[in-house]
């Protein structure tokens, strides 16, 4: 805990200030130092452009995370609303059946009243708050005809089921209200993060914006260099696989028809099969057609997209259904090493899996980056190699 303290000099230790002159001088020095510190803050207190860039990027990432929560809440709200509507329709139908059963019982009561048969018992039954309690009296049950008993049983069943469905509808409405609250909270969070990012950027001078643009350009150039490096590695690996396959084919031919079950070509490093490649081509064709459309949080097309909305729509065009959010999409397929990424694979970013793009080969992807930008092709290293979370093959 004391590692920040300076070690004392090894000379003679001064036990304390013994004279008023020394005390006055020391206090004066402290006062002057305090005034200097308070009067003129150092220019270094202002954050650097790199720090501002990191802060803005962090805010956009937080907004994207909140967007995923918004998307999940929106999806849950839509499902819950549909369930509530279904339950309310069911309750209405059951209420109609209940009324029909009540009318049938009423007709029996009227008939008994006209004939004078068991009028008091039937009237008491119809007026009871809990008919089942009254049915326990065997005297009434014994006097009822078979048709009357069927009508009574149907009434009790309809009443019980209607009450149950009404309770389910009430609970579903409460869940819907909660989901709508989550939706509102997530939306407010996104808007606040985006407003904070815009405010930070608005405070930059023209010179600072130019310097920031230069920093971002250097980052893009480094990302492109890393993408080229990955492309060369993948090409070399592919060439090695093809050479190994040719050698194996030649060895098999020279050894006759006996074949070999020894080593074989490693299936774990084989390229994606033709079925996957065909679907991936359709997904990529769709994604390319969206280039230039704006990023809008929560959007799923056709005029704008957020990151997971774009990947979901692209693979839907290939006949593959993906979940709505990034943290669900990351589990909707087979994880593969980055070195084995194939066109069409999904590339996920950050530890909290808040961004995704669709790989197009050669270290590049198509993605909807962030608010204020457009769907574009970009290096998968756009935010550094450490930002890459995983690669998933969705079909």
Q: Are 76 and 210 in contact (CB under 8 A)?
A: no
Nearest of 369, 380, 379 to residue 306 by alpha carbon: 369
Q: Is 367 a catalytic residue?
A: yes
Burial string for 315-342 (b: 16+ CB within 10 Å, else e) reads bbbbebebbbbbbbbbebbeebebebbb
Q: Which of 74, 94, 165, 367 is catalytic?
A: 367
Q: Which residues contact 114 (CB under 8 A, 6 or more apart)?
A: none
Asked, as a colleague might, if the bond just before 110 is cis with ω within 30 of 0, I would say no
Q: Which has the closest alpha carbon to 58: 351, 390, 374, 393?
A: 351
Catalytic residue among 355, 370, 389, 393: 355
Residue 293, C-beta contacts closer than 8 angstroms, at least 6 positions apart = 301, 303, 304, 305, 368, 374, 375
Q: Within a 10 A sphere around the Cβ of 199, how many other Cβ atoms?
A: 11
| Catalytic-role residue among 307, 341, 360, 392 | 307
Tokens (6 digits) for 9: 């000099």
Q: What six digits make up the tokens of 191?
A: 């808007």
Instruction: Enumerate the active-site residues.
Output: 307, 355, 367
């Amino acid at each position: 805990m004391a590692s920040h303290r300076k070690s004392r000099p090894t000379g003679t230790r001064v036990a304390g200030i013994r004279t008023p002159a020394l005390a006055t001088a020391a206090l004066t020095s402290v006062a002057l130092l305090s005034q200097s510190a308070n009067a003129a803050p150092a220019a270094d207190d202002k954050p650097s452009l790199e720090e501002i860039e990191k802060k803005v990027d962090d805010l956009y990432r937080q907004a994207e995370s909140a967007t995923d929560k918004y998307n999940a809440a929106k999806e849950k709200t839509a499902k819950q609303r549909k369930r509530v509507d279904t339950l309310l329709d069911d309750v209405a139908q059951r209420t109609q059946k209940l009324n029909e059963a009540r009318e049938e019982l009423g007709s029996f009561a009227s008939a008994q009243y006209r004939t004078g048969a068991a009028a008091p018992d039937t009237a008491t039954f119809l007026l009871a708050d809990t008919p089942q309690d009254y049915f326990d009296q065997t005297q009434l049950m014994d006097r009822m005809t078979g048709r009357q008993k069927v009508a009574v049983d149907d009434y009790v069943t309809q009443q019980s089921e209607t009450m149950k469905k009404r309770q389910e509808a009430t609970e579903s409405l409460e869940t819907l209200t909660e989901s709508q609250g989550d939706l509102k909270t997530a939306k407010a969070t996104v808007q606040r993060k985006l407003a904070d990012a815009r405010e930070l950027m608005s405070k930059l001078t023209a010179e600072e914006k130019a310097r920031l643009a230069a920093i971002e350009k250097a980052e893009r150039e480094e990302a492109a260099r890393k993408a080229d490096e990955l492309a060369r590695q993948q090409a070399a690996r592919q060439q090695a696989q093809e050479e190994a396959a040719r050698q194996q084919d030649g060895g098999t031919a020279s050894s006759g028809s006996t074949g070999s079950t020894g080593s074989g070509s490693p299936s774990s490093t084989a390229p994606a099969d033709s079925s996957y490649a065909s679907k991936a081509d359709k997904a990529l064709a769709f994604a390319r057609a969206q280039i230039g459309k704006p990023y809008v949080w929560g959007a799923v097309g056709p005029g704008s997209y957020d990151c997971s909305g774009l990947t979901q729509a692209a693979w839907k065009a290939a006949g593959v259904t993906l979940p709505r959010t990034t943290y669900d999409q990351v589990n909707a397929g087979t994880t593969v090493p980055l070195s084995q990424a194939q066109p069409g694979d999904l590339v996920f970013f950050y530890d909290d899996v808040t961004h995704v793009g669709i790989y197009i080969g050669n270290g590049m992807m198509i993605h909807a980056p962030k608010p204020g930008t457009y769907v574009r092709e970009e290096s998968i290293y756009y935010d550094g190699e450490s930002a890459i979370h995983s690669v998933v093959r969705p079909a």
